Amino acid sequence: MLDRSNSRRLTRSLVLVNDSPRSSSDTALSSTESGDCVIEAENLTKVYGGGTRALDNVSLRVPPGTIGLLGPNGAGKSTFIKCLLNLEPPTSGRARVLGRDIRTSNRESREKVGYSPEQDSHIPGMAGCEYVTYCGQLSGLSFKQARQRAHEILDLVGMGQERYRKIDTYSTGMKQRAKLAQALVHDPEIVFLDEPTNGLDPAGREYFLRLIGSLHRQLGISVVISSHLLNDIERICDRVIIIANGRVLEHDSLENLKNRHRRIVEVAPSGEAERFAAALLEAGYVFERRSNGRLRIESPEDSVEWLLELMRKHRLPPGEIVANPNALHELFLRALATDHGNRA
Amino acid sequence: METALDLSRCREPLRGVVYRRWVIASTGLRQLFRGRFFVILLIVAWTTSLVMAAGGFVFSQTVVTGGWLEEGAKSLGVRAEALASAIGALVLLYPDICVRGLFMWMFWVQSYVGLGLSLIALTVLVPRLVARDRAGNALIIYLSRPLTSLDYLLGKLGTVAGLLVLLWTGPLLLGWLLSMLFAPNSDFFVYSLEPLLRALMFNGICLVVLATVALGVSALTRSSRTTIVLWMFLWIFMWGLGNGHRAPDWLRHSSLMLNISEVRASTLRLDAVFVDAAEKLPLIDQRVVENLRRSGEETSAKNLPGAVQALAGFVVLSSVVFLRKLRPE
């Protein structure tokens, strides 16, 4: 009988196509049992010299999936990732990655982990494919296997003949691709990506987002992605962690977070905006006019049935309706404001 | 846009930490020997082993009974024949001095060639050890994998050790082995063992010192140019300062080269060979005896404890620098 990880390796293959809605049924098997956590942190604290608390008693349990790590500059996102990888030894607290304690199983805790750091990180003098092969070998792959995988992964990240050029000569976008390739070459079960779309052109960014979004859905590789770009996170992640001042402010699935968010509907009337506003006023709904002509309405329920009913009743012309626009953005700002208030 | 990835090949279990350290060491060496310069150094180094072997061969074939010397002397007359027989007899009666002396001298010379080549090679290698990894933020790539800073250190030490083995230890062993292949009797094997072990000991000491200092210097700065300048300063400039006639002891011991020379003198003990030759060989000419004694004095170590302490200081200091700087930035 094949064990789970073997069956995953034997059967899985990734085809990058257009984004499709996520469902639990198409989620590939992970070697960690469903319901297990890929990351567990318990009172994880990191204090730098000078007393700066980069992480302040962070405790959380993160299930497999595509996890967005959000926070303003200096919030502690990168420190959190580095502590989990033991690149920065935590001052106190415990953490487990893929069930392995980062302190007691230092090396083993990183065996099935990939990391793409924020800054340029490469080994000078090596060509792209040589670099990725070398990284595979450093993770324990034989040369033959590492070279084979390097070429496959470089194909996957969209790198063509440039792979034979020295990595020192790469553009920022190419370096990002090489960084992602080295993070994936050894078939990890979880990858940490720190600002992976920085420096990519729009086409490259689009490609990258689709690729990162597919990693868990199709290969079962959990992804922790740290980014400032809320739209990117909202698009590909199924779970979000918001960090500020070294503390976790929010941690939940994106769906739950959006549900907890104040329900907002934005309407862009195709005409007769004044009549639209009058009808809303008459029905007693709270709304505001936006500079682009849209009406931003506080919705009494999750669905927009009430709005369609109102439009039908008042014979209003059809318009574009967007439910929960910029929900993550608002949620993010609200979490920061709450934290700021609490601290004050 | 459609890209397919078949991940079905990743079935082998991951290899252990020894393999990963070996990968760091061997990749460093492979990168190094891509350049023509290092290939030339290799050729020079291994040529010395052939020269050593040839030297041993010529010596053994010359002095052995019925050898070239005896045969050649026959044609020069009775006097020359008697002299040749006397030399042959000396080797036969005093193999501990003659054979040991020959090999000690060969290994002494080879230690200069090996050390010189290693220093030249390290001048080019030093920036590639840690400085360039630091400049390219590569440490984070190493340490985010199942590797610790100790694994990285051992891998890099392996690169330096591999270089020294290829340029110094390898030629030394091959030279000795080839000499033994053509040796006329077992005396050559028995009495060349001690010089060989002494040469290997000196080689080992240098390997530790050179590798640690090279890693320390390489970790000191991110700039390749600065690293090379520091390395040359440490070896050449400090040697120049310490070698002055009026240089005080502390200045002499601040020179790695002079300290290593002291260690060479006390490890290879060429002085003991000269003194033994002067005292034990039945030499009639007293000028030869005096010359041997003087050579013995000149080649003896002057202040070994000071040199050892200084080298230990260099090793500790370099290790501290290396370990302090070995953090992802």
Distance CA B143, CA B151 (A): 9
Residue B6: per-residue pLDDT: 55
Residue A72: per-residue pLDDT: 84
B34 touching A (Cβ < 8 Å): no
- A334 vs A58 pLDDT, higher one: A58
Residues B222-241 pLDDT 10s: 888 898 898 888 888 777 77
Instruction: Report CB contact under 8 Å: B24, A138.
Output: yes
Left if phi > 0, otherwise alpha if psi is -120 to 50, otherwise beta: which for A220?
left
Q: Residue B63, SS3?
A: helix
Residue count (chain B): 329
Find the angle CA(A339)-CA(A342)-CA(A344) to the nearest 5 degrees.
Answer: 110
Q: Is the pLDDT of residue A18 over 50?
A: no
Q: Which two tokens stand for residue B95?
A: 């193999």
Residue A24: per-residue pLDDT: 37
* Partner-chain residue, chosen from B10, B141, B146, that has the shortest CB–CB distance to A182: B141
CATH 3.30.300.30 fits A262-323, yes or no: no
The DSSP output letter for B190 is H
Strand A53-62 relative to strand A39-47: parallel, antiparallel, unpaired?
Answer: antiparallel
Give the gap in angstroms from C-alpha A99 to the nearest C-alpha of chain B.
15
Distance CA A139, CA A108 (A): 11
Residue B170: per-residue pLDDT: 94
Contacting residues for A240 by C-beta, under 8 A, at least 6 apart: A67, A68, A70, A233, A250, A251, A252, A253, A254, A257, A328
Find the angle CA(B37)-CA(B38)-CA(B39) to the nearest 5 degrees.
Answer: 90
Distance CA A84, CA A80 (A): 6
Give the gap in angstroms from C-alpha A325 to the nearest C-alpha of chain B.
29
Give the gap in angstroms from C-alpha B21 to the nearest C-alpha of chain A.
8
Q: Is the pLDDT of residue A9 over 70?
A: no
ipTM higher than the 0.85 cut: no
Q: Which two tokens stand for residue B124?
A: 């080019």
Residue A297: per-residue pLDDT: 85
Residue A2: per-residue pLDDT: 35
Residues B66-119 pLDDT 10s: 777 777 777 777 787 777 777 777 777 887 888 888 889 899 999 999 999 999
A26 touching B (Cβ < 8 Å): no
- The pLDDT averaged over each successive group of 10 residues in chain B (329 residues) is 52 86 93 87 92 85 73 77 78 81 90 92 86 86 90 92 93 90 82 92 93 90 87 82 75 85 88 82 78 83 85 91 76
With the C-alpha atoms ordered B235, B241, B245, B248, is the resulting torsion angle positive or negative?
A: negative
Q: What's the topology of domain A4-255?
A: Rossmann fold (3.40.50)
Between chain A and chain B, how many beta carbons pairs sit less than 8 Å apart?
A: 138
B14 touching A (Cβ < 8 Å): yes
Residue A342: per-residue pLDDT: 63
- Number of Cβ atoms within 10 Å of the Cβ of B155: 21
Q: Which two tokens stand for residue B77?
A: 């007359």
Q: Which two tokens stand for residue A281?
A: 């006023």
Q: Residue A114, SS3?
A: strand
- A240 vs B286 pLDDT, higher one: A240
Distance CA A130, CA B107 (A): 40
Distance from chain centroid for Cα B48: 12
* Predicted confidence band of residue A8 (pLDDT cuts 50, 70, 90): very low
Residue A340: per-residue pLDDT: 64
Instruction: Report CB contact under 8 Å: B14, A106.
Output: no
Contacting residues for B274 by C-beta, under 8 A, at least 6 apart: B292, B293, B295, B296, B299
* Predicted confidence band of residue A13 (pLDDT cuts 50, 70, 90): very low
- Please determine whether the domains at A4-255 and A262-323 fall in the same fold group of CATH: no
Find the angle CA(A158)-CA(A166)-CA(B127) to the nearest 5 degrees.
Answer: 140
B142: closest chain A residue by CA: A138
B11 touching A (Cβ < 8 Å): yes
B146: closest chain A residue by CA: A107
A264-269 sheet: strands from edge to edge: A287-289, A295-298, A264-269, A319-323
Find tokens 């500079």 and name the residue.
Answer: A291
Give the gap in angstroms from C-alpha B40 to the nearest C-alpha of chain A.
21
What are the residue boundaries of the structural domains of chain A, listed by start? 4-255, 262-323
A235 touching B (Cβ < 8 Å): no
B143 touching A (Cβ < 8 Å): yes
What are the residue boundaries of the structural domains of chain B, listed by start? 36-325
φ/ψ of B254, rounded to 5, equals -85, -5
Distance CA B131, CA B145 (A): 20
- A221 vs B90 pLDDT, higher one: A221
